[in-house]
Structure 1
Amino acid sequence: MSDRFHKRLWRNAVTMASPAPSTPTLQIVEGLRECPCCGLFQTVPRLKPGHVAYCTRCDAQLARRRRTAPIAAPAAFCIASAALYLALLLTQLLTINVHGRVNTVTILTGPIELAREGFGEIGLIVGLTTLVMPGVVIALMGAILFGASKRHMPDWTPRLMSWYERLREWSMIEVYILGVFVAYTKLIDLAIVDLQAGVFLIAALMITMAATDSTLDVERVWHNRDIREEMEDGQGRKLPVEHVTATDETMPSVTHMLSCHACGLVMAFDHVVPREADMGDCPRCHQILRRRKTKSLTNAAALLVAGIICYIPANLLPVMTYTKMGQPDTSTIIHGVIELWQSGLVPLALLVLFASITVPVLKIISLAVMVLGTWFGQKRGLRPLTKLYRIIDIIGRWSMIDVFMISILVAIVHFNFLANVLADPGVVFFTIVVIVTIFAVHCFDPRSMWDAAGQNGPVDAPLEAQDNSEAGGISRPSHPFPPHDMEPERA
């Protein structure tokens, strides 16, 4: 929002100084999609309910139509999610009884106890992902469905759609309930533990929120959105908008086209579109238009290095200290996995091993290969690397299981000499690893791998890779772009 505000403020200042010259028409290319993972432009017909379109090159999903009612079905699940969420705020999760002394925990107490022990930043992250973000995304979805039900969709609805896409994965109710189960297995050897109604409310909330997402027909919502008759470009000039179809004999050049990252609308300009320049606001959803993410390689590499640095102390330092009858026992992440295995909870031990050990390592190694491959113009294995990118983008947040488990144990096990659980510095480093690697995945643009390999026609490679090429890092043939990559294909 701030980026758009400053951009428009600068435009208005320039416009007052000198009038903008006349400009040619902007073309909206109907029936064309750019793959968000490999950057290939493909013709996609209007889909029937229940049909899905996939990229012909990397198998990424381009479009999907739902069979359910476009507004009624997600609205019903959204209302149910709101009711469950409000009930969850007032309900207990667990009750523990140690020799007649009883403690309870709610979804609010974990972040509060972490803050009291001096881990306020971790408590804030736990509170945001388990308490604030679920409520925010439910409210956003309710507003989106209300706006989409109108005959003429309000201008604020597309903006809320974009924010919903950005914030949805930070609502980690699905991960939190697994943290509850891991905490439960660690507590049953200590005392009498009773599951309260809050646990079942979380499970129900997880189901209803997933059902809301699975029944929302995003394609139908965007097709019902009116497209403005003119667009303001990056220099503040008004471009008249006209519509062409992807089946026309004369198609715009690939170098002149880009797609909106939010709504997928494909547009064609009368000039070559720079790689990372601000091309104005989308005439359908009002989001800033850029061909590729800005400084993708640099940002992803910086966050990746930060994750690698923090990963070592995250595994070596204890994440919590468990004291029983005055005898302290520190625990690292791998020690917690071993305890679950020795207790006979093999499936749960494998789950924690996968989420807390395998996933961070997989993200770090995979991103390192992708960044270096893009930097040096790697041409082999692009398709499996693109699929791997989609996998790590989905599973990255599941590493928060241990963090949520510790927040629950810290909140409920407070019996002084009898039993006590305290968080340790290892949990700080581990949380940093999870967060920065999630941001690293978001910063990296998988299309840049295909650009650097010359698979997207004359589209420029990332600026960092170009600099490396000039230094002798990448060798380019004189005609690296095959003819079939210069025109759109059919999905």
Structure 2
Amino acid sequence: MTAAVSMRQFRVPNLPLGEPQVDLTPPEVRTTRRRLRACEECDWVSALPPLRSGEKAECPRCGHTLATRHYRPAQRSMALAISALVALFLAVTFPFVSFTAGGVGNRIELSETATSLIGFDQPIVAIAVILTIMVLPAVYLLGVIWLQFGLMRGEPLEASRRIARSLAHLHPWMMADVFIIGALVSLIKLSSMAQIDVGPAFWAYCTFALLLLMTTQSLDADWMWFSLAGEPLAPKGTRTGMTAAPQGLAGCHTCGLINRLDDHSHCRRCGERLHARLPHSQQRTWALLAAATLMYIPANLYPIMTTTSLGQSSPSTIVGGVVELIQMGSWPVAVVIFMASVIVPVGKLFALAWLCLMVKRSSELNALTRTRLYRLTEFIGRWSMVDVFVVAILVALIRAGSLMSITPGPAALAFGGVVVLTMLAAMTFDPRLLWDSPAPRESAEPRDRPRQGAPG
């Protein structure tokens, strides 16, 4: 365990007018002028210390990670990205899973988990599945390879900045790891009714999901943006130890650079749109939460899938499916489905609504606690897609006519909409508003104790 450097001891003097506009001194060896960052969660302006491999710098006010340094970041992320693409290619080439029941069976490939939904008039769900488990991860990995190849040869390739800016926006929508959980739930659910055999593509996709996760964690965004465009100096008069908004500044959420705000502000380094606070953040969050709440009603009232066995059809709602799993003795699977389909979406709706209310009202909980709650809601939202992936896999796999078949119900689209809307609601909510509201003294001051950082 490598100790991270405490951020409070570094302070940057005001920059004189005669200084150059871009500092090209490598960040790991700079010792005189510190690089400044405005925390994207609490807006606190801090100075980054030089970081060695395995170290990270955290905001002294809220604990948000400002920068993480990895060993050989370009080579590492490029190797992982190439390996992940190879695993994905194998996953779409070989059989994914097969089942046999009563002398009748079926074998599917990975892509059929999406294409089979189109035949049941569920094109929107099919598009969402194929995008989140294959297309967006592949685009992300290709973007990583394009970027790192240019950086390794010392000359960024064309459109590198636009690609680097897009990577951060793609990351939340890649759900290979969630799909693996959905696949495991599906296989466990079917194991009592049929013989299940996993194909080479299943193991290849498990490998792909792991490599994709490692690739996202290996990206050193701070180093990458410095390598692409250097480090433009902070605006004249920038002060640490206070928030950026009162100084007329804003930190870029994509590359981290502090910029001066004006009527049409864009980041000087990456071109991202800048705002002191996200415009109409609360109104947009409330609107998305209201839409998600309305869609959650049909998602629970209508069947999410219909099972046909020996000519008899049995529709199943989300809660009904959980009850059936309990009756079958599959308690672990029932708990997973109940958590992902009921606890997580409902909890996220209430949590985001409560956070919106706390922006305008005082609370016993301090701003730091509210920020931690926001991080939790942002992290868990995507895992509700487990139920949608379970439906996609079962519909593709169980197609034996009147003997046994599963068809998607209208609740699949409604529940998928709930997941997307709650994710968008978390993205539109600006956690910096929590620190603007009245809060106890201890929540508005930086913490004195140094934080521990894990090796990258």
| TM norm structure 1 | 0.79
1:221 Cα offset (Å): 1.5
> Does residue 301 in structure 1 map to residue 286 in structure 2?
yes
Q: Distance in 2 between matches of 1:99 and 1:349?
A: 26
> Does residue 39 in structure 1 map to residue 43 in structure 2?
yes
Sequence identity, in percent?
A: 29
Q: Distance in 1 between matches of 2:240 and 2:165?
A: 31
| Partner residue of 2:343 out of 350, 358, 370 | 358
1:421 Cα offset (Å): 0.6
1:387 Cα offset (Å): 0.6
Asked if the contact 2:244/2:250 (under 8 Å) is kept, the reply is no
Q: Give 3-state SS (helix, strand or coil) of 1:38's partner.
A: coil
2:264 alignment partner in structure 1: 278
1:58 Cα offset (Å): 1.7
Asked if the contact 2:363/2:439 (under 8 Å) is kept, the reply is no
Q: Partner letter of residue 73 of structure 1?
A: R
Aligned length: 422
Asked if the contact 1:43/1:246 (under 8 Å) is kept, the reply is no
Residue by residue over 1:371-420, the C-alpha shift from the partner in whole angstroms, topping out at 9 and shown as x without a partner, is 12224465843211101111111111110111011011111211111111
Residue by residue over 1:87-121, the C-alpha shift from the partner in whole angstroms, topping out at 9 and shown as x without a partner, is 11112111112222221111211222211111111
- Residues 1:93 and 1:253: Cα distance change in structure 2 (over 3 Å): closer
Alignment of 1:410-449 (within 5 A): 410-449=395-434
Q: Distance in 2 between matches of 1:140 and 1:383?
A: 35
> Does residue 102 in structure 1 map to residue 105 in structure 2?
yes
- Residues 1:307 and 1:252: Cα distance change in structure 2 (over 3 Å): closer
Q: Give 3-state SS (helix, strand or coil) of 1:415's partner.
A: coil
Q: Give 3-state SS (helix, strand or coil) of 1:96's partner.
A: strand
Asked if the contact 1:71/1:145 (under 8 Å) is kept, the reply is yes
1:145 alignment partner in structure 2: 148
Q: Partner letter of residue 390 of structure 1?
A: R
1:342 alignment partner in structure 2: 327
Q: Partner letter of residue 264 of structure 2?
A: D
1:130 alignment partner in structure 2: 133
1:252 Cα offset (Å): 9.1
Q: Which runs of 5+ in 2 are unaligned?
A: 1-17, 23-32, 452-456
| Partner residue of 1:61 out of 59, 62, 65 | 65
2:374 alignment partner in structure 1: 389
Q: Distance in 2 between matches of 1:396 and 1:337?
A: 20
Asked if the contact 1:54/1:60 (under 8 Å) is kept, the reply is yes
Higher relative contact order (CA 8 A, sep 6+): 2
Asked if the contact 2:189/2:333 (under 8 Å) is kept, the reply is no
| TM norm structure 2 | 0.84
1:470 alignment partner in structure 2: none
Asked if the contact 1:378/1:449 (under 8 Å) is kept, the reply is no
Asked if the contact 1:320/1:331 (under 8 Å) is kept, the reply is yes
Q: Distance in 1 between matches of 2:322 and 2:140?
A: 33
> Does residue 260 in structure 1 map to residue 263 in structure 2?
no
Q: Give 3-state SS (helix, strand or coil) of 2:401's partner.
A: coil
Q: Distance in 1 between matches of 2:21 and 2:353?
A: 38
Asked if the contact 2:371/2:431 (under 8 Å) is kept, the reply is yes
1:463 alignment partner in structure 2: none
Asked if the contact 1:30/1:243 (under 8 Å) is kept, the reply is no
1:209 alignment partner in structure 2: 212
Q: Distance in 2 between matches of 1:394 and 1:89?
A: 28
Asked if the contact 2:293/2:349 (under 8 Å) is kept, the reply is yes
1:203 Cα offset (Å): 0.8
Asked if the contact 1:111/1:126 (under 8 Å) is kept, the reply is yes
2:309 alignment partner in structure 1: 324
Alignment of 1:71-220 (within 5 A): 71-154=74-157, 156-220=159-223
| Partner residue of 1:51 out of 31, 51, 55 | 55
- Residues 1:27 and 1:38: Cα distance change in structure 2 (over 3 Å): farther
Asked if the contact 2:374/2:431 (under 8 Å) is kept, the reply is yes
Asked if the contact 1:130/1:176 (under 8 Å) is kept, the reply is yes
Query: CA RMSD, aligned part only?
Result: 3.1
Q: Distance in 2 between matches of 1:289 and 1:132?
A: 29
Q: Distance in 1 between matches of 2:227 and 2:351?
A: 39
Residue by residue over 1:1-54, the C-alpha shift from the partner in whole angstroms, topping out at 9 and shown as x without a partner, is xxxxxxxxxxxxxxxxxxxxxxx9997895221111111112221222211222
1:183 Cα offset (Å): 1.2
Asked if the contact 1:315/1:333 (under 8 Å) is kept, the reply is yes
Asked if the contact 1:105/1:408 (under 8 Å) is kept, the reply is no
1:461 alignment partner in structure 2: none
- Residues 1:334 and 1:226: Cα distance change in structure 2 (over 3 Å): same
